Amino acid sequence: MNTRLLFLLLLVAGAQHRAYCQRELRGQVLDAHTDLPLAGASITLVAARQTVTTGTDGRFRLAPAPTDTVLVTYVGYAPQRLPVAALPGEATVRLVPKDGMLTEVLVNTGYQTLPKERATGSFTHIDGKLLDEVVAPTLLEKLEGITNGLQFDRRNMLSEAPADGATGRIRIRGVSTMQSSEEALVILDNFPYEGDLDAINPNDVASITVLRDAAAASIWGARAGNGVIVITTKRGARQAAPQLTMTSNLTIGDRPDLYADRSRLPSATLMEIEADLFANRRYQEFDQTPIPAYAELLIKKRDGLISEADFEAAKARFAQSDIREEALRHLYRPSASQQYAAQVLGGGTNQTYYLSAGYDRNARITIGDRDDRLTLLARHTFQAGRKLEIGTGIRYAGQTIHHDGIPLQALTRLSTYNALTEPDGAPAAVVYDYRLAYQQRAEGLGLLDWQYRPLEERDLVSFAERRGDLQLDGSAVYKPIAGLDITASYQYVQGAYDQNRFADAASYRARNLVNRFTQADGTRIVPEGAIRETPLVSESRAHSGRIVASYARNWAARWELSALGGAEIRQHRETGHPGFTLYGFNPDTYTGTNVLDYATPYNTRPVGTARIPSHFNSIGERTTRFLSYFGNAALAFDRRFTVSASLRWDASNLFGVKTNQKGVPLWSVGGAWQATDAFRFRATYGRSGNVNHGVSVYPTIGYGTGSYTQAPYAYLTSAGNPSLRWETVSTANLGMDFSLLAGRIAGSVEYFSKFASDLIGEDRLDPASGIVSISVPQVTNLVNYASLRTEGADIQLNTRNLSGKLGWQTGWLFSYTRNRVKRFNTAQVLNAESLLTANGIPQPGRPLDALYAFPWNGLDPETGRTLIYHADGSRATDYRQWLRDFPHTALVEAGVTAPPFAGSMRNTLDYAGLQLSATVTFKAGHVFRRTSMLPGGISSFIHTYHSDYLIRWQQPGDERRTVVPSMLPYGAPATANQEDRVFRASEALVTKGDHIRLQDVRLGYTLPRAVSSRIGARSIQAYGYLRNPGLLWRANDQGIDPDFASASYPAPLTTSFGLQIEF
Amino acid sequence: MKRIVKKTLRLACAITASFTVTSCAEEFLALKQDRNAAVPSTLADFQAFLDNVSVMNHPSVTRLGYLGADECYVSDASWANAIYEYERQAYLWADDVYVGGAVPDWEFGYKRILHANIVLDGLASLEVTPVERDAYRLARGSALFFRGLTFFELAQLFCAPYPVSGEPSPTALGIPLRLEADVTAKASRATLQETYDRIIADLREAAAVLSTERKIDIRPSKPAAHALLARVYLQMGRYADALRYADSTLSVYSDLVDFNTIDTLRITDNLFDGLRLRHPEVIYMGSALSPHLMGPYSNLRIDTNFRKGYAEDDLRRTVYFKDYVQGMQLFRGSYRPEGNWFTGLAVNELLLIKAESHARLGEAVKALQPLNRLLANRMAVSAFVPLASADAEAIIARVVAERRKELVLRGLRWNDLRRLNQEPRFATTLVRVIDGTRYELPPGSPRYTWPIPEETVRQSGVPQNER
């Protein structure tokens, strides 16, 4: 037969067919359990061999012949076959999850949502259910232990507030920068989020996706180099009945373990040391010098101001008291956090809605510290005609944080034997800014009472921060033809922040200021009375706009193309206003005075001259602007082969003019191959960037107002760099996903290699150039020049060990990273010291996190001094000379401070509505430098103590049991305290960081439906949760929790109870 | 259908185009990130740069001089407790002073020079209207004054003393003379003669463009430049020049505060606190950051023998010093009344330069006039008897003694030691005793020249000073 004729016939038949048989079929695919839309589900017309996929809202549109059959499929769900004739024009298809199949994971890149099975990049997806199971102080902390490749870096946490939400920094897959921010970019509802993550109600979060490789992240361009965390909030669904969820939980935290602080010595020991210091005349008895209470007692005894009996009585009282006992009673309490949230979601034929409110109230561990947060979220979508959908959203978060507490660490002058209360229970006066004897004398000099009583002060001074965030967004999706969506979206975020401080007239804060500025003739420069202060007021405003066209099309049921392209414009502006202070403030009438002479330097007591403290005299305003164009496309064949590519061009006022002109794009390519049903392989390569906000492209000067001249002056801030550009991170990723035994064993193995180049670093110059290290404000000279390679592997394994009445699942996470500095040029002269400091100079060929140390040779058996040797092997005694001669190449690389190995194991058991889960985490392969007693630490100017004093070398033979040198005798040449530097940086104090931690245990119970339905609820769930039960094992023998090695105490155990009811 | 596609594409194009219009995008991206930051480009910017007191006027490059000279001493405990190792070592004139650390005098000095050079480079390419002429001259003159002043202060620490008689050796090393703002240019050391030639050239040019009028004491003026030239020439032993410039300034500024009018019983840490910004003797305001080792309230002790050197009727004994705890004295006579030691230029120093120069030139009678004028304002009225010696040598000795008593903690003692040690009759051996060990600095010792900071030696390869 003539083929051409046949073709013509078919065409006519087809056209005819179309002409009168087709009708439009519209519909939505939902999860049968949750009624949430399923995006990316396939709708195939079996006879016509035509396939479409559902959009993000789960909706689809088809024109089937009435005789055809629709096949609806979605990974992890049982497929459904439905005759077209049986369907209404507007059909809702509810798919039931296949038992024993993992639900399909949808990953959201912030630009698009796609099934993980069709993505080539590396994503970690955390769904709302898993997030809900973890109770943590902050949203980000919830990710710990359940997100592969994400690590909390707590190495530099000094604060005592680990339990109060101090999370440390986050690293995704190791490090990819040196001096710029290591923070991952956070995307909230499709736009970069610059606010405080604490302002997000965790109950509003539908899912979190972490984008780890170039194909995943490069769509975010110049800011994606550290990885991207995409947070998606919940939304309503079309034609879904209203669903109301109410949750409430209470978390109680233990008091802090103050005895974990190794910088404290027992009272009796401390008194011996102070007596010794006193005998050696180490206390300078000036009015302005705080002297410890026991030393004051000794001074009184020396001067005959106290009887022998009184002295002995006071001494005995000191020896028996320990300030930590009192602190636990008077300064700390068990923390209590309450969280309440309610949400309603649903939708009609033309609209969807989501409404939510949350209220949190936290009483922190330090008495006086408390905060609360109110969050509101409303989202609405509305179908305006067939082709246009309008979406709007409003989010509000308001926080108030009170810092009235006085942690023990703030009372730096207090010795262990000090008391916070008098024997009769009244607040005790303690040594604070000046000598106690002087403060006690003040009233006799015609001044106000000058004593500081911490327990009284706490009630008289208040300091609060307030933060309010308002977000408005709108979007319009226009669908002119099938497969093409044009989305225009806009977001506005306004943040306001202020601080308020009030000091009562009776407070030390107010009295101190009055007294300091009381002149010799009794004139009070600062008026007596309360002080009301607003140190800082700031606000931020961000506008973001985006237009994206996305196109998806299937051919012949085998080829699938999806592509998007668009542009984005963004401005973020932060303004800081100078604050104000009202003196002599009347809290009833809210009036005071601020008309004081801030320019004149006055004589102050006890010594010196000073001006009345005033506020900034300039308004700060920082604006960052971005302009970006982007596109990506993925083509899949037969659902087995997928290729993808992306391209993005960024310009910003953070970069130099030359960089913006050059316009080097960031890009990625990737491919995936579904080899068998069980195995899928992925490979990607691409480049993203990282920006540094702290560097200026212009040679800049800053302006201020001179205190001497009261006239404007300018200062140099940057030498300028017109070629400044973003740092570039090139990432290669190889991955394999597997699913065996009908999904009972599933997981992924990934290898990555990141090469970070053009890293910004300080190019140190000869000080004779005028660019000097010790000046304030520092003049910077930063250029793009360094490079770094990070590589590693992420392994994730989920096993369903038992399924049936008793279910048992295990999730394993394991990650490994290592890095090597490839290039780092510095003009700075290298010496041992420059490698030993906390942020030492990176060494090419060595890890960025390397910890260097002096070799340890033990202690001298005769004297207990640290043994050092010259290069030729002879014994050295002059520590200073030895330090100067020590070549940096002879330092020992003692390990890395960031753990190369990390992971977790999470077991979940469920039986008849009961669910028990526990997470065990580990970190391994890293070291840290523990603190210790310094041989010269006590006799030097700032007397520093450490509990290692108790195990120091004291007599020959001790060198066999301790590494802590003996104390330097008083009167030793001052250069001898250079031994401190040798010992502090020696191998002896390098401590293994390996540990295994039981992170949390959770027991949940879902009431039988029969019970819950009795009160009209769809489900009722109650749970109890323990967080930080503690370490199961640690490699170090010193009893130090390596995650909190520099903090005053480890995160206390918290216990939570919660209830969730769905109607 | 087609129409819709076309329409859509057109719309998409229009929207994209609105983003891409190049001039628009450039304007959008041109906004500076930090509102408080500015690219220095206008005359006002440069003047604001020069008005930065905490770079240009403070701290002066005199800290090593305080540490090395004999005005203050510290107790064993203070020395043991000192925060900065280099201060401890400098106090003992040690072999290795800086122990690898930064050297504040060097860093602050060259930072100030960079600021001056940025202004000079910027002004060179600036077009000024006739109205701006005066402002331009003020900025240029000020920058030259600051550069000359800083080179001079650096030369007193890091170069050998300038010989008061004869020429310096052609191989004697000076300091790196940085004359442009390019921070990447490598440093090299000029000769000692070139260094002083540059100092004089900068100050002469400054004097030529600066006006006599002065609005505020932190800004340089023609009299200030002349006063500084007098100080420089005295240091070089060129007394006729020193005299000429001292006279020039004294013809404009010659007021003195009569110490008889000061209420020494008033309780204050600075008796001149009422004269802030208008101290009649101050010609140019500069001040030092005292070394931590010599913190005024905790460590500083004034040599008791030195204080005994003031006559009973000498008012400076009580105006300058107040007894403080533990045998310490508080210095309360700084002309900068904010706890900082005054190191600027003042009438009293010029009177002493004038007196010494006359005496050195053999003009005993002329030398007595300024000396008596100063002393009349320093001694109790009842006790003051004008000097009437005709012996120039005796007057020189008296002026040398008065310089110590009058110019306490002005950052000049170290310079005077370096200058006067060249004359055997004034040569002094400095002594320190710490923890029972005695340390000496004999006159003419190479340790009167501090080492060049190691980082500069290693990065720029400049030769180190002999020690």
User: Do A49 and A65 form a contact (C-beta atoms < 8 A)?
Assistant: no
Q: Is the pLDDT of residue A7 over 70?
A: no
Q: How crowded is residue B27: how many other Cβ atoms within 10 Å of its Cβ?
A: 10
Question: For A30, phi and psi rounded to 5 degrees?
Answer: -125, 160
Residues of B in contact with A521 (CB under 8 A): 267
Q: Is the pLDDT of residue A941 over 80?
A: no
Residues of A in contact with B15 (CB under 8 A): 488, 547, 567
Q: Tell me the Ramachandran region of residue A625: left when phi exceeds 0, alpha when psi lies from -120 to 50, beta otherwise.
A: beta
Question: Which of the residues B15, B22, B29, B33 would you substitute to probe the A interface, choosing the one with the greatest number of A C-beta atoms within 10 Å?
Answer: B33
Q: Is the pLDDT of residue A989 over 80?
A: yes
Yes or no, beta carbons of A775 and B108 under 8 Å apart? yes
3-class DSSP state of A234: coil
Give the Cα separation of A577 and B294 in Å (integer). 39
Yes or no, beta carbons of A701 and B80 under 8 Å apart? no
For every residue of B59-97, DSSP letters joined together read S-S-HHHHHHSSSEE--HHHHHH-S-HHHHHHHTT-SS-
| Average pLDDT for A741-756 | 90
Alpha helices in B125-269 (DSSP H): 133-158, 192-209, 222-236, 239-250
End-to-end CA distance of chain B: 92
Q: Is the C-alpha dihedral spanning A29, A33, A36, A40 positive or negative? A: negative
Give the Cα separation of A925 and A595 in Å (integer). 60
> pLDDT tens digit string along B210-225?
999 888 889 999 999 9
Residues of B in contact with A700 (CB under 8 A): 34, 37-40
The radius of gyration computed from the CA coordinates of chain A, to the nearest angstrom, equals: 33
Yes or no, beta carbons of B51 and A706 under 8 Å apart? yes
For every residue of A784-826, DSSP letters joined together read EEEEEEEEEEEEEEEEEEE-SSEEEEEEEEEEEEEEEEEE---
Encode chain B (467 residues) as per-residue pLDDT tens digits. Answer: 455 555 555 555 445 544 444 556 777 877 777 776 667 788 988 999 899 998 899 899 999 999 999 988 888 877 877 778 889 899 999 988 987 778 999 999 999 998 999 899 889 888 888 999 999 999 999 999 999 999 999 999 999 999 999 889 999 999 999 998 877 777 899 999 999 999 999 999 999 999 998 888 899 999 999 999 999 999 999 999 999 999 999 999 999 999 999 988 887 778 888 777 789 999 999 999 888 888 766 667 777 778 888 998 999 998 998 877 766 778 888 998 776 899 999 999 999 999 999 999 999 999 999 999 999 999 999 889 999 988 999 999 999 999 999 999 999 999 999 999 999 999 999 999 988 889 999 999 999 999 999 888 887 889 999 98
Token readout for A807 is 């279910």
Token readout for B214 is 């002065």
Residues of B in contact with A711 (CB under 8 A): 51, 216
Nearest to B38 among A703, A769, A827 (CB): A703
> pLDDT tens digit string along A804-835?
889 999 999 999 999 999 888 665 556 777 78
Give the Cα separation of A1063 and A243 in Å (integer). 6
> What number of H helices and E strands is found in chain B?
19, 13
pLDDT of residue A261: 85
Q: Tell me the Ramachandran region of residue A515: left when phi exceeds 0, alpha when psi lies from -120 to 50, beta otherwise.
A: alpha
Residue window 282-341, chain A: list those with CB within 8 Å of chain B.
Answer: 282, 284-286, 288-289
| Average pLDDT for A298-322 | 93
Q: Is the pLDDT of residue A21 over 60?
A: no
Question: Which of the residues A713, A828, A834 would you substitute to probe the B interface, choosing the one with the greatest number of B C-beta atoms within 10 Å?
Answer: A713
Residues of A in contact with B25 (CB under 8 A): 627, 651
Contact A653/B at CB under 8 A:
yes
Residues of B in contact with A713 (CB under 8 A): 48-49, 51-53
What are the C-alpha distances in Å from A978 to residues A732, A811, A865, A941, B293?
Answer: 47, 51, 12, 14, 18
> pLDDT tens digit string along B134-175?
999 999 999 999 999 999 999 999 999 999 998 899 999 999
3-class DSSP state of A844: coil
Residues of A in contact with B458 (CB under 8 A): 829
Contact A589/B at CB under 8 A:
no
| Average pLDDT for A285-298 | 88
Yes or no, beta carbons of B77 and A282 under 8 Å apart? yes
Give the Cα separation of A869 and A971 in Å (integer). 25
Give the Cα separation of B113 and B106 in Å (integer). 11
Give the Cα separation of B271 and B264 in Å (integer). 7
Q: Is the pLDDT of residue A22 over 60?
A: no
Nearest to B55 among A653, A702, A715 (CB): A715
Q: Where are the beta strands (DSSP E) in A116-204?
A: 123-127, 150-153, 169-172, 185-188, 191-192
C-alpha B254: how far from chain center = 21
Give the Cα separation of B381 and B432 in Å (integer). 38
Q: Is this complex scored with an ipTM above 0.90?
A: no
Give the Cα separation of B19 and A629 in Å (integer). 9
pLDDT of residue A696: 65
Residues of A in contact with B338 (CB under 8 A): 601, 609, 708
Q: How crowded is residue B140: how many other Cβ atoms within 10 Å of its Cβ?
A: 21
Q: Which chain B residue shows the shortest CA-CA distance from A767?
A: B107
**Type of residue numbered B360:** R
b/e map of A40-75 (b: 16 or more CB within 10 Å)? bbbbbbbebebbbbbbbbbbbbbebbeebbbebbbb
Contact A930/B at CB under 8 A:
no
> pLDDT tens digit string along A876-930?
888 878 887 888 888 999 999 889 999 999 999 999 889 999 999 999 999 999 9
Mind telling me how many Å the CA of B398 is from chain A's nearest CA? 34
Q: Judging by DSSP bridges, how do beta strands A90-95 and A25-31 pair with one another?
A: parallel
Contact A522/B at CB under 8 A:
no
Yes or no, beta carbons of A766 and B30 under 8 Å apart? no
